[in-house]
């Protein structure tokens, strides 16, 4: 079940005269979505009419996102992104045990029909992601992901390419996460049906490092949302 979306003010992690950084909840679209009446840009413009998103996150992905307060700030951040002066780091939980130490994956990615993409060495666009394992559990690994390029579903596709699909990512090889898969002697009630512990892919935009208008460097970390935090606690408890 989708959680209630907090007020925009409660999403703010940082702000100055030029930028806001918010912690986008899962299940909230960055831009207009035909299926939902509420999106992050709409919420931002209700708070500040001239607000503009400097980048976006997929609907089911949570985490840190930069919003410009005025056109000059937006143009400046667009240049920083183009020149790769910003750093985005995601945390994700993947299936299996993986010892990744600054592993660089550069498989080219091609957008295909609809909202999917795939690795294509002939027609794909250059893509680079850096992965580091943060902690291994009994059957899963917490991984930090740093996309250097920004292709659609890049992290998800690159992880699948090394047989490390993201928990709950049904479009790219992942499976739903059931507590029974890690908890010993797990039992359901007679008429109960087990539900996944997280109802989305376990991907969170954890850290943003970027230049402000005065060129000082800002580092913002987004706390985990409740579903991601619960999943991690269960992994810790049942390791």
Q: What is the pLDDT of residue 1?
A: 44
Helix (H, G, I), strand (E, B) or coil at 236: helix
Q: What is the DSSP letter of 228?
A: H
* Sequence-ordered list of residues with C-beta below 8 angstroms from that of 239, at least 6 positions apart, any chain: 137, 138
| Torsion over CA: 185, 189, 193, 196 (sign) | negative
**CA-based nearest residue to 3, from 227, 236, 239, 228:** 227
Task: State yes or no: pLDDT of 28 exceeds 50.
Answer: yes
List the catalytic residue out of 16, 17, 58, 60.
58
Greater model confidence, 100 or 183: 100
| Mean pLDDT, the chain, whole residue set | 94
Mean of pLDDT values over 8-31: 97
Which among 33-37, 71-75, 112-116, 178-182 has the top mean pLDDT? 71-75
Mean of pLDDT values over 105-126: 93
pTM of the model: 0.94
CATH 3.30.2350.10 fits 8-237, yes or no: yes
Confidence of residue 111 (pLDDT cuts 50, 70, 90): very high
Distance CA 74, CA 15 (A): 14
Phi-psi region of 173 (alpha: psi -120 to 50; beta: other; left: phi over 0): left
Active site residue 99: no
pLDDT digits (tens, 9 = 90+) for 141-197: 999 999 999 999 999 999 999 999 999 999 999 999 999 888 887 878 777 889 999
Confidence of residue 103 (pLDDT cuts 50, 70, 90): very high
- The phi, psi pair for 210, rounded to 5°, reads -155, 155
Would you kindly state where each structural domain of the chain is located, as residue ranges? 8-237
Distance CA 177, CA 239 (A): 15
Whose tokens are 């920004």? That residue is: 150
Task: State yes or no: pLDDT of 2 exceeds 70.
Answer: no
Share of the chain above pLDDT 90, in %: 85
Burial of 236 (0-12, 13-18, 19+ CB in 10 A): exposed
Confidence of residue 3 (pLDDT cuts 50, 70, 90): low
Task: State yes or no: pLDDT of 136 exceeds 70.
Answer: yes
* Sequence-ordered list of residues with C-beta below 8 angstroms from that of 71, at least 6 positions apart, any chain: 50, 52
Biggest CA pair distance of the chain = 62
**CA-based nearest residue to 206, from 65, 107, 85:** 65
Q: What is the pLDDT of residue 115?
A: 78
């Amino acid at each position: 079940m989708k959680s209630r979306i907090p007020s925009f003010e409660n999403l703010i992690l940082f702000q100055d005269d030029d930028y806001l950084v918010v912690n986008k909840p899962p299940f909230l679209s960055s831009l207009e979505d035909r299926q939902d009446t509420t999106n992050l840009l709409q919420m931002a413009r209700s708070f500040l009419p001239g607000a503009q998103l400097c980048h976006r996150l997929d609907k089911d992905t949570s985490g840190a996102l930069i919003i410009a307060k005025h056109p000059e700030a937006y143009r400046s951040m667009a240049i920083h992104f183009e020149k790769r002066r910003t750093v985005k780091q995601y945390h994700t939980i993947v299936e299996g045990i993986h010892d990744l130490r600054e592993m660089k994956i550069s498989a080219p990615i091609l957008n295909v029909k609809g909202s999917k993409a795939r690795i294509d060495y002939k027609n794909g666009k250059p893509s680079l992601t850096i992965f580091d394992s943060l902690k291994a559990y009994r059957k899963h690994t917490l991984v930090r992901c740093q996309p250097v390029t920004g292709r659609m579903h890049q992290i998800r596709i690159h992880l699948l390419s090394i047989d490390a699909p993201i928990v709950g990512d049904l479009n790219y090889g992942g499976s739903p996460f059931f507590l029974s898969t890690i908890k010993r002697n797990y039992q359901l009630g007679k008429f109960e049906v087990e539900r996944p512990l997280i109802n989305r892919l376990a991907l969170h935009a954890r850290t943003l490092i970027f230049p402000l208008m005065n060129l000082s460097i800002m580092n913002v970390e987004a706390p985990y949302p409740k579903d991601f935090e619960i999943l991690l606690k269960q992994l810790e408890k049942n390791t």
